Structures are given as structure tokens and as C-alpha cells.
Amino acid sequence: MNNPLDRRRFLTSAVLGSAGVVAGATALGSLAPEAVAAPMPKLDKNGIDPNFAEGRITAINGSMLMVTASDRSFHRIQLTKATSVWKLRPTTMDQAKVGDGLYARGVRMPDGVLAADALWLNIVNLEAHIVSMGTNVLHLDHNGNRLVGHVVPGTTAAVYNGTPAVRDLSMLQVGKHAQVIGAWRPDTNEVDIATVYAAAA
């Protein structure tokens, strides 16, 4: 089932169709959470999780990412079809580019390769003040540094006072603080905004 649309149709019928439509599919929802707790990772003496990696992509070899961490250590990260890739939004592995920053979580294989379950590209989480606004732009002060936050119509969402996310950004206020989950544009002081958390005006 290589065609993504065919696969989507198949999975749609699996979840919305009646029981037994898809062979082998099992309904979820009946198990207690404790019954399926994931195994816990073993940390080293510094609390470093071997199943986690951060750094910048220095080379891409097929589905293998070569990554240099901020402590200059080197990681090889293997992506598979089962790896979720986030870059401003859920996307596909071909969006990973040399120079991207990343956080990855997966399973460390005996050969040192991290088989990634989840990959977050260029993701940043910023506590900032909204200094001013321009056309689809928020000018942010993050720890005294100026950042440009780009609103991406159709993607950027706002969460006001912890209520469900909406696309309406009109309640954001100049001078107020905000938390921004976004995708950094490598080697710039600009981010594309995925979600902005703010206190409603």
C-alpha cells in the first residue's frame, strides 16, 4: 500500500468502519493506562537519556541523519516510515534539511544508531513579550533578544488562557507576554509560529 491516499482510505475505514472491516485491527480504549505503560529508559549517571538526541543535521544519507550535538558529540539517527516528523506541522522525512536543528526520541540500537520514533525539526518553545505587530508578523522580545515570529495562515493557532486552540489571533496584545511553539528558520532570528499561548485581552 505505497500510495498515501490508499493508505489513508484504508486507515479511515479501519477507524470509522464497523468492527472486523480491517483484518487484525483491534479497538483501543478498553485497556487501563497502567496496563500498557511503556518501558522506562535507563539513564546514565548525568541523567542523560540514551534514547534522546539533540543537535544540528550536518549530512543526510538516505534516511540516516548525521547530527552534531551542542556538546560536539555525533549522532546517527535512522528514520523509518513509522517516524513522526514535525517541522512547523506534522510532515514527512524529506523535509529534513542539512542545517536544521532537531530533537529526536527513539531507541538506541547496539551499533549506536538512534532508531527515531519521533523527530522534531527546528522546534523552539519561547517565553517572550510581544513588542509590536506587523502584517502577519509578531515582533518578540525573548530574554532581551529580538525575534521575528511569522504567522503562517492556516497553520498558526492561538491558545488563550488554556482554552482550546483557535485560528483567531486578534486577541493577542502588544506589550503582553506569550509562549510560542514554532519552527526556527536556521541561522536567522526568525521563527514560523505553530502555536502561540497568551492571556486573552
Partner 1 sequence: MGNETNSVQSATTAETSWFCCGGGWGPCGSAGGGACGNCQSGSYMCAWPNTSDACFNITRPDQCGDNLLRWGCGHTFYVRNLCGANEIAVRIADCGPHTNYWCGERSCCSGNCATDRLLDLTPAAYSAIGNLSSGIMPISVHS
Partner 2 sequence: MLQTLAALAPLPVGVLLLLASRVKLLGKNTPEVARRSALRKLVGDERVVGAYRAVGAGELVLGALLVLPPSSVVEAAVATAACAGLLGYLGYARLKAPDSSCGCLSEKVAPVRWRSFARAALMLVTAAVALGAPGYWLGAIADRPLATVGLLAGWFALASALSAELDGYWLVPLRRLRVRLSHPLGKFVPGIPLESTMDILYRSAEYRSAVGLIRSDVLEWWDEGTWRIVTFAARNGDEHGTAVFAVPLAGDGEIKAVLVPADEPVAA
Range in contact with partner 2 (rule: CB under 8 A) among 42-50, 66-74, 77-85, 184-192: 77-85
Torsion of CA 90, 95, 96, 100, to 10 degrees: -90
Q: Would you give the end-to-end CA distance of the chain in angstroms? A: 49
Range in contact with partner 2 (rule: CB under 8 A) among 42-50, 53-61, 75-83, 182-190: 75-83
Please say whether the beta carbons of 124 and 179 come within 8 A.
no
Residues 120-159: x/- map of binding to partner 1 (CB under 8 A)? Answer: x-xxxxxx--------------xx-x-x-----------x
The torsion angles phi and psi of 10, rounded to 5 degrees, stand at -60, -45
From residue 65, alpha-carbon distances to 35, 37, 201 in Å are 34, 29, 43
Beta-ladder partners of 75: 67
Minimum CB distance to partner 2 smaller for 73 or for 189: 189
| Chain residues 4-63 in contact with partner 2, contact rule CB under 8 A | 4, 8, 10-12, 14-16, 22, 24-33, 35-38, 62-63
Residue with cell 493577542: 172
Residue 18 interacts, among partner 2, partner 1, none and using kind-specific CB cut-offs from 5 to 8 Å, with: none
Please say whether the beta carbons of 191 and 148 come within 8 A.
yes
Residue 11 CB, shortest distance to partner 1, in Å, is: 20
The torsion angles phi and psi of 124, rounded to 5 degrees, stand at -130, 150
Binding site for partner 2 (CB under 8 A): 1, 4, 8, 10-12, 14-16, 22, 24-33, 35-38, 62-63, 78-84, 86, 89-90, 93, 106, 117-118, 120, 131-138, 143-144, 151, 153-155, 157, 159, 164-170, 172-175, 194-195
